[in-house]
């Protein structure tokens, strides 16, 4: 529905890969849709199908001012003609257009409407009280007609609530088409690396990938102290698994470089010096928050002899380049 092309599985080269007798590919999901780009496309796919099937009136979702999920949702809803309102963390942004990120400006251009809420209220966004306050007080940021339509839609249960990051069971199930595409392109892969924010993408890849004896999926956390993600990831996998036997999978906590959006000398060295050599022929750009950490983790494991000889490794490029673009 949203995917514009089968994305390339691109071979990358480095002398060290030869030494260790491994093959390495990048799955270029940064190219799956010009505007949506990346893993968010899969997380949205079934959620938006469901929204259309039940003829809901509004999609309501949540995020920060630089969120890739907000960017992707705005683009997807524009492409499918779905009215969408985003609840954005930080009420200092309301009526303050000159403080808006390029993510918000671009989403607005695509037709997304916004309600800005205080950081304190944002923390309570799962609660019934919050929704009440949102639809009464905060919704006054919308034009009066839209506010009324939103309240009516809520009363008639015609709003789809999509959590922050777009992560839920339908999001997890949405990765079935990606794992099938990867299987077609490379049936004998042994290791797959992806970045982990909420872990819904990792869960989707684990739940939907065909079992093979030697396979391991590697989720690389981009947050510090992200152990708390584990129970939710396990729950997503067991609720949505497609095969009786699961592939091995692991969370790696050694590559977040200090935490979300942080970097350190080792990561910078990888991004500025090593990766450009590996990708000299293909020039694959990485984002600083997610893909650079996931790919760096692979590199460290290779150097530590933790990738077996003969392995076929896939690095999932999950997009995120909108967040690092410097324009506007
Ligand atoms: C959101 C995002 C992730 C994290 O996805 P989760 O499903 O939340 O783990 C990874 N990479 C990029 C580029 C993202 O935008």
Confidence of residue 281 (pLDDT cuts 50, 70, 90): confident
Q: What is the CATH number of the domain that holds 26?
A: 3.40.50.1100
Res 325: pLDDT: 53
Taking the C-alpha atoms of residue 94 and residue 88, their distance in angstroms, rounded to an integer, is 9
Whether 322 is in a domain gets the answer: no
The residue whose C-alpha atom lies closest to atom 2 belonging to ligand 1 is 197
Co-location of 201 and 257 in the same domain = yes
Q: How far is the CA of 284 from the centre of ligand 1 (A)?
A: 18
Owner of token pair 């949702």: 73
Q: Decide if 67 is inside a domain.
A: yes
| Distance from the alpha carbon of residue 19 to the mean position of ligand 1, in angstroms | 31
**Mean confidence (pLDDT) of the chain:** 96
In this predicted model, what pLDDT tens digit does every residue of 51-67 receive, in sequence order?
A: 999 999 999 999 999 99
User: Of 92, 124, 157, which residue sits at a domain end?
Assistant: 157
* 126 contacts: CB under 8 Å, gap ≥ 6: none
Could you identify the atom of ligand 1 that is nearest to the CA of residue 72? 15
Confidence of residue 1 (pLDDT cuts 50, 70, 90): confident
Atom of ligand 1 nearest to the CA of 194: 10
The whole-angstrom separation of Cα 265 and Cα 278 is 19
pLDDT at residue number 300 = 98
A 10 A CB-CB count for 224 gives 12
pTM above 0.85, yes or no: yes
Does 49 reside within a domain? no
Cα 324 to ligand 1 centre (Å): 14
Domain identity same for 217 and 260: yes
| Structural domain count, the chain | 2
Which residues' Cβ are closer than 6 Å to ligand 1? 38-40, 68, 165, 167, 195-201, 287, 290-291, 318-320
Instruction: Using the predicted structure, report yes or no on whether residue 328 has a pLDDT greater than 70.
Output: no
Read off the DSSP letter of residue 223.
S
pLDDT over 70 percentage in the chain: 98
Residue 75 lies in a domain: yes
User: Coil, strand or helix: which one is 215?
Assistant: coil
pLDDT(291) > 70: yes
- Residues 72 and 148 both lie in one domain: yes
pLDDT at position 214 = 92
Cα–Cα distance for residue pair 297/254, rounded to 1 Å: 7
Let me know the angle formed at the C-alpha of 61 by 57 and 63, rounded to the nearest 5 degrees. 160
Dihedral over alpha carbons 288, 293, 299, 304 (to 10 degrees): 140
CATH of the domain at 143: 3.40.50
Instruction: Please tell me the predicted confidence (pLDDT) of residue 40.
Output: 98
Protein residue with its CA nearest to atom 10 in ligand 1: 195
Query: Both 190 and 96 in a single domain?
Result: no
Question: Which region among 94-98, 109-113, 219-223 has the lowest average model confidence (pLDDT)?
Answer: 94-98
In order, the DSSP letters of 102-135 are HHHHHHHHTT-EEEEE-HHHHHTTTSHHHHHHHH
- Is residue 1 a part of any domain in this protein? no
Whether 324 is covered by a domain: the verdict is no
Same domain assignment for residues 219 and 259: yes
Share of the chain above pLDDT 90, in %: 95
CB hemisphere CA count around 103 (13 angstroms) = 21
Q: How far apart are CA 84 and CA 151, in angstroms?
A: 14
143 and 180 in a single domain? The answer is no
Q: How confident is the model at residue 305 (pLDDT cuts 50, 70, 90)?
A: very high
- With CA atoms as reference, report the closest residue to 73 among 93, 103, 94, 100: 103
Q: Tell me which of 97, 129, 157 is where a domain ends.
A: 157
- Is residue 212 located within the same domain as residue 98? no
3-state helix, strand, coil in the chain (%, to 5): 45, 15, 40
Tell me how far apart the alpha carbons of residues 246 and 6 are, in angstroms, rounded to a whole number: 25
* 205 falls within a domain: yes
117-173 tens-digit pLDDT: 999 999 999 899 999 999 999 999 999 999 999 999 999 999 999 999 999 999 999
Residue 178: predicted pLDDT: 98
pLDDT at 29: 98
Token reading at 20: 């260790």
Residue in 162, 170, 131 with CA at minimum distance from that of residue 59: 162
Nearest-CA neighbor of 194 among 319, 283, 280? Answer: 319
Structural domain of 313: 9-33+170-317
Question: 253 with 307, same domain?
Answer: yes
The pLDDT of residue 282: 83
- Judge whether residue 280 has pLDDT over 90: no
> How far is CA 9 from each of CA 55, 161, 285, 321, rounded to the nearest angstrom?
36, 34, 15, 18
Q: Write phi, then psi, for 252 (nearest 5 degrees).
A: -110, 125
Based on the fold, state whether residues 192 and 228 are members of the same structural domain. Answer: yes
Same domain, 262 and 135: no
Same domain, 25 and 104: no
Residues 174 and 274 in one domain: yes
The mean per-residue pLDDT over the stretch 208-228 comes to 97
Angstrom CA distances, 93 to 39, 87, 130, 235, 267, stand at 27, 12, 19, 36, 32
Q: pLDDT-based confidence at 327, cuts 50/70/90? A: very low
Q: Could you tell me if residue 48 is inside a domain?
A: no
């Amino acid at each position: 529905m949203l995917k514009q092309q089968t994305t390339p599985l691109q071979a990358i080269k480095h002398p060290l890969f030869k030494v260790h007798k491994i093959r390495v590919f990048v799955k270029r999901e940064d190219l799956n849709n010009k505007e949506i780009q990346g893993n968010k496309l899969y997380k949205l796919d079934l959620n938006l199908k469901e929204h259309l099937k039940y003829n809901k009136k509004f999609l309501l979702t949540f995020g920060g001012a630089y969120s890739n999920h907000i960017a992707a949702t705005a683009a997807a809803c524009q492409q499918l003609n779905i009215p969408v309102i985003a609840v954005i963390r930080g009420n200092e942004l309301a009526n303050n257009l000159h403080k808006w990120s390029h993510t918000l400006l671009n989403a607005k251009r695509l037709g997304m409407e916004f309600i800005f809420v205080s950081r304190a209220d944002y923390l309570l966004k799962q609660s019934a009280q919050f929704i009440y306050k949102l639809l009464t007080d905060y919704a006054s940021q919308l034009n009066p007609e839209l506010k009324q339509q939103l309240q009516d839609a809520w009363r008639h249960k015609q709003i789809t609530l999509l959590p922050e990051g777009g992560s839920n069971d339908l999001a997890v199930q949405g990765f079935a088409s990606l794992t099938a595409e990867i299987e077609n392109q490379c049936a004998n892969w042994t290791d797959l690396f992806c970045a982990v924010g909420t872990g819904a993408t990792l869960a989707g890849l684990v739940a939907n990938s065909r079992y093979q004896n030697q396979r391991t999926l590697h989720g690389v956390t981009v947050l510090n102290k992200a152990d708390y993600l584990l129970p939710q990831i396990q729950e997503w996998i067991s609720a949505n698994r497609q095969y009786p036997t699961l592939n091995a999978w692991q969370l790696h906590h050694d590559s977040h470089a200090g935490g979300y959006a942080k970097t350190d000398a080792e990561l910078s060295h990888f991004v500025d010096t090593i990766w450009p050599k590996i990708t000299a022929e293909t020039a694959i750009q990485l984002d600083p928050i997610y893909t650079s950490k996931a790919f760096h983790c692979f590199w460290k494991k290779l150097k530590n002899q933790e990738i077996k000889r003969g392995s076929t490794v896939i690095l999932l490029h999950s997009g995120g380049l909108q967040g690092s673009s410097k324009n506007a």
